[in-house]
Amino acid sequence: MCGVFGYVGQRRDVGAAIVAALKTLEYRGYDSWGLAVATADGLLVDKDVGRINGQVRVFPEATIGLGHTRWATHGRVTRQNAHPHTDCHRRIAVVHNGIIENHAVLKDQLLQRGHQFRSETDSEVVAHLVEEQLAAHRPLAESVALVFRLLEGHNAIVVMDAVSGKLAAAKRTTPLIIGQGGQGSTIASDAFALQGHADRLIHLEDGQLAVLAANSANILDRATLLPSQPVSVAVAVDRDDAGLGSYPDFLTKEVAEQPTVLRRLVASSGDDVEGLSTEMRRANRVILTGCGSAGNAALAGAYMLNSVCAMESSFVPASEFSHRAGRRLAGSLVIALSQSGETLDVLEAMDEARRRGARLAAVVNAPNSSLERRVDARVMLGAGVEQCVLATKSYSAMIAALMLTAFDLAGKFAAGAAAVCGAAQAIEALLEPDARGHIGEIGSRLAARDHLFVIGRGVHYPSALEAALKIKEVSYIHAEGFAAGELKHGVIALVEPGTPCLVFAPDDETRTDMVSSASELRSRGGHIIGVGSTPDPVFDEFIPTLPVGIASPIVEAIPGQLLGYGAALARGHDPDRPRNLAKSVTVK
């Protein structure tokens, strides 16, 4: 979480450039924001709580600066706690992403040495620690390297020194990317923010330190401070992806992109899928992992592997991986699913899996992400930038990727490709104005309810989990997804007259049992919203979907996305930036 952007170069309008970059980074954290620029009159720091969009500021000329969008971890959402933080003499400014686990001890020591703190954050210790090193006449690079060594946890810091006119940065796990080309040197938490500023990108490694000046970007070994050979890659983000175009919000845009994304995946993923199938064939055990929606997609993948090619696999949530996966994983393949490729729990799970002897694979959207760079095989989703905090197109693409792999393992890639294209067509039907309006209208009526239950069975059980997740995170309605068979074992006690119940009832082997479960809910007063290809008298409302067989979970992603959207609008919430959330969860 937290967006970071820094610039040093020839441009004199750094303040405006930082604000523009922070707007693109806002999905990483949007409770407050701030920037610092070094002007002829000293450091100018500007901060505010809330969203940066719409705020108009005029900044004095400057050629170096850095900015931050915050997702609070330590310290409330206040102006003082927004980054950047400065040292006692306002010579340096610091932005930080992560959690400094030993900040309390470091802060006590700094207070005893007479430093004045202005915020409640863990981050501010960095400013005062660097201040001490600079006061001892150490160069900026050495100062930042020494200070970074003191910090415990997964952190990324960027330090601006107004005196030397340089930025220095270091990281552990949490990403930092350096942009080369353009009119100077740039650094950001996210490649997306470097669009238009750079032609090539360097992904800073954990053992490195970056020092950026107006005419240079040097990557050093953090331990020795000797030059380190960075690997640079061309900017991969498609600029056409970035804007809203004629869409009212990114959620609508990204939901609408799903048919295109799925067809593109079918056309482009053949080699990736073959590589993943080869790894899976060689493995004596396959474990899928991920968080949130990606975890739901992983669970759907486990069902699909079982049903399409009789491959046994298990799903372990990434945050539980070290506790639940086997101690010895030699011969195992661990496949992580992730949109951002930067989720800390996922990266930690993969590092643990490697230590336990597993081979690693990923189904990932963000190119050159930390996850992609860790694994032995990968399927790239190519879904384009996902800017809405809710996972939508990445979720359906993840299921499609695993489905293609399952078909490939069964020696039937072409059949898998046809099934995914069928799903793309069925999604188009759901996005037709009438169908979409019908689902949105049901969603807007849900806005008046406090609770909602979603059930599915077999491969549709993950669809129930995902629909509930989408609805709750964007509308703040309490929505629970569960396996239909579990209904009678406790949850049905919560059903009251009028309680909305979303029921996935496709025409397959789960249908009869699903209709029975719907009847049980209705007998207790539940208001049944059926999703499937065939209506039934037990449904109070019906969301019709085209029959697509095993590809149903891809199509079943859409009702939850549109119901959540309808409820969110009716409740007056921002569909792209739900409260308390941020894209790319880079803290524990």
Q: Which residues bind ligand F6R (CB under 6 A)?
A: 291-294, 338-340, 343, 346, 390-391, 469, 473, 584-585
| Closest to ligand F6R by CB, 106 or 346 | 346
Residue nearest to ligand F6R (CB): 292
Write down the least CB distance from residue 294 to ligand F6R, Å: 4
| Closest to ligand F6R by CB, 387 or 584 | 584
89's tokens? 């003499």
The answer to whether 212 touches 65, Cβ cutoff 8 Å, is no
| Closest to ligand F6R by CB, 300 or 346 | 346
Q: What is the number of other CB atoms lying within 10 angstroms of the CB of residue 175? A: 25
Write down the least CB distance from residue 171 to ligand F6R, Å: 18
Phi, psi of 5 (to 5 degrees): -150, 135
Where does 154-269 have alpha helices with state H? Answer: 250-256, 258-268
Write down the least CB distance from residue 348 to ligand F6R, Å: 12
* DSSP secondary structure letter of residue 84: P
| Closest to ligand F6R by CB, 84 or 301 | 301
Write down the least CB distance from residue 286 to ligand F6R, Å: 19
Between CA 440 and CA 558 the distance in angstroms is 11
Which 3 state secondary structure label does DSSP give 205? coil
Between CA 575 and CA 537 the distance in angstroms is 33
Cα end-to-end distance, the chain, whole Å: 10
Strands (E), 369-526: 377-380, 451-456, 478-483, 500-504
Strands (E), 470-556: 478-483, 500-504, 527-532, 541-544
| Closest to ligand F6R by CB, 220 or 362 | 362
Which residues does the annotation mark as catalytic?
2, 583
Q: Residue 58: enclosing H or E segment and its boundaries?
A: none
Q: Is 446 left (phi over 0), alpha (psi -120 to 50) or beta?
A: alpha
In the beta sheet, which residues pair with residue 455? 482, 503
Write down the least CB distance from residue 343 to ligand F6R, Å: 3
- Helix, strand and coil in the chain, % to nearest 5: 40, 25, 35
Write down the least CB distance from residue 260 to ligand F6R, Å: 20
β pairing state of 541-544 and 527-532: parallel
Between CA 38 and CA 41 the distance in angstroms is 8
Write down the least CB distance from residue 218 to ligand F6R, Å: 31
- In our burial notation (b when 16+ CB lie closer than 10 A, e otherwise), range 118-128 reads ebebbbbbbbb
Write down the least CB distance from residue 585 to ligand F6R, Å: 5
Write down the least CB distance from residue 250 to ligand F6R, Å: 12
- In our burial notation (b when 16+ CB lie closer than 10 A, e otherwise), range 414-450 reads eebbebbbbbbebbebbbeeebbebbbebbbbbbebe
| Closest to ligand F6R by CB, 28 or 85 | 28
For the chain, give the number of residues.
588
Which 3 state secondary structure label does DSSP give 163? coil
Tokens 């938490």 appear where?
189
| Closest to ligand F6R by CB, 294 or 311 | 294
In the beta sheet, which residues pair with residue 478? 451
| Closest to ligand F6R by CB, 512 or 580 | 580
Residue-by-residue DSSP string for 367-381:
TT-TTGGG-SEEEE-
Sheet-wide strand order for 451-456: 478-483, 451-456, 500-504, 527-532, 541-544
Which 3 state secondary structure label does DSSP give 16? helix
| Closest to ligand F6R by CB, 305 or 391 | 391
Between CA 266 and CA 313 the distance in angstroms is 23
Between CA 502 and CA 566 the distance in angstroms is 15
| Closest to ligand F6R by CB, 29 or 84 | 29
